[in-house]
Amino acid sequence: MTETPAHIPPELRALGWDEEWQAVFLEAGREGTQPARLAVPRKKSYTVMTATGEHEAVVPGKTWHTQGAAGQPVVGDWVALEVVSDTASPVIRAILPRRTILTRKMPGEKVAEQFVAANVDVLFIVCGLDQDYNVRRIERYLALAREGGVKPVVLLNKEDLVEDAARFRDEVTESAGEAAVLSMSAKDGTNLEALEMFLGAGVTAAFIGSSGAGKSTLINALLGEERQDTQEVIEGTDRGKHTTTRRELIPLGDRGILIDTPGLREIQLWGDESSLDDIFADIAALTEHCRFRDCSHTSEPGCAVLEAVESGELSEKRVESYHKLSRELRHLATRRNEQARLEEKQKNKRFHKMIRKSPKPRPW
């Protein structure tokens, strides 16, 4: 006889909880805990949302020692929450398996992965039609979304600043593959209703983009209130200064769930070259017709990619972007392998040191 699933409170459904999550939670057998969604990560605590409201939760100290920062909850995560008492802080006992995860390489030279958000269904890539406009950066965001299993949607904001928004849409569409590309203005409300087609009950949508692209203004427009802080346009730049300093989950009732993120100064990918195939599907298709199977698409005779550039079928800048991202991901793979070997070497060194310090058995 099949066990009847427990009733799901509407308050949890409003956070994105569904029968599939319920089944995973019950299968995990986390007795004494309840499902909660991580809304705001902080340095030493986490704001989580449950069927009964918000709580300020903590993670056991041993988790930091055994799993490090990579094993910590991120905004959008579903967790098993244990409420110990009315006075003690609730404790996050486990993170449920993530359906999707947005990650990037940590800024700087350090070879480490940085989580942006988890369990996101739609990624709104916001780019302003001002000095923020950059097709190559949009391609990076698209690759980040594809790598994480998230549906990307490109939002070209501030169309009130340009006379021919369609020209920008067409240019981005050439690089966006199957991703939708919309132009709008959060300032005067032009085409904002188009966002609603990607939202809905249980759908989690995250906003990502550079500082000043208009993410917070778009979220305020969807909320119908000034919840996210924004600042006035900086004189002489046509740009506003983004004031979001943390990642935050915002429920929209039966319209879904939003996640706001701080502006990203740089977006370095964390993945492998296969993540580029969807974003550069046109180039991937052409490579099948190159004369040589190991064609680098730089100077070889019979290269279908170079021939497409020569005929005007393919943009030279797009091919340059493809090569740049490919080199970046290959370099990252090399550094990750080197780091893995170093960590294994250090691990073995610690083990042998421990063996040498162990007391030797006494002779009979």
Tell me: the pLDDT tens digits for 223-279?
A: 887 665 555 544 444 444 545 556 889 999 899 999 998 766 556 665 666 667 777
What CATH number has the domain bearing residue 58? 2.40.50.140
Q: Are 80 and 96 in contact, with CB atoms under 8 Å apart? A: yes
Q: Are both 233 and 254 inside the same structural domain?
A: yes
Q: Are 179 and 142 in contact, with CB atoms under 8 Å apart? A: yes
Q: Are both 148 and 255 inside the same structural domain?
A: yes
Q: Are both 179 and 305 inside the same structural domain?
A: no
Interhelix angle 135-148/316-357, rounded to 10 degrees, is 50
Give the residue among 78, 79, 40 at the shortest CA–CA distance from 60.
Answer: 79
Q: Are both 105 and 253 inside the same structural domain?
A: yes
Last residue of a domain, one of 69, 95, 121: 95
Residue 349 lies in a domain: no
Q: Is the pLDDT of residue 108 over 80?
A: no
Q: Are both 137 and 111 inside the same structural domain?
A: yes
Q: Cβ atoms within 10 A of the Cβ of 228, count?
A: 20
pTM of the model: 0.78
Q: Are both 109 and 252 inside the same structural domain?
A: yes
pLDDT at position 154: 96
Phi-psi region of 259 (alpha: psi -120 to 50; beta: other; left: phi over 0): beta
Give the residue among 163, 162, 143, 164 at the shortest CA–CA distance from 154.
Answer: 143
The string of pLDDT tens digits covering residues 183-214 is 999 888 889 999 999 999 999 999 998 878 88
Residue 201 lies in a domain: yes
Percent of the chain with pLDDT over 70: 75
Instruction: Give the mean pLDDT of 16-30.
Output: 91
pLDDT at position 68: 57
Q: CB pairs under 8 A, 24+ apart, for 198-201?
A: 198/122, 198/124, 198/151, 198/153, 199/122, 199/252, 199/255, 199/256, 200/254, 200/255, 200/256, 201/13, 201/14, 201/254, 201/255, 201/256
The string of pLDDT tens digits covering residues 168-188 is 999 899 888 889 999 999 888
pLDDT at position 139: 87
pLDDT at position 187: 86
Residue 345 lies in a domain: no
Residue 76's domain comprises: 10-95
Q: Are both 156 and 238 inside the same structural domain?
A: yes
Q: CA torsion, points 251, 257, 263, 267, in degrees to nearest 10?
A: 150
Q: Are both 146 and 231 inside the same structural domain?
A: yes
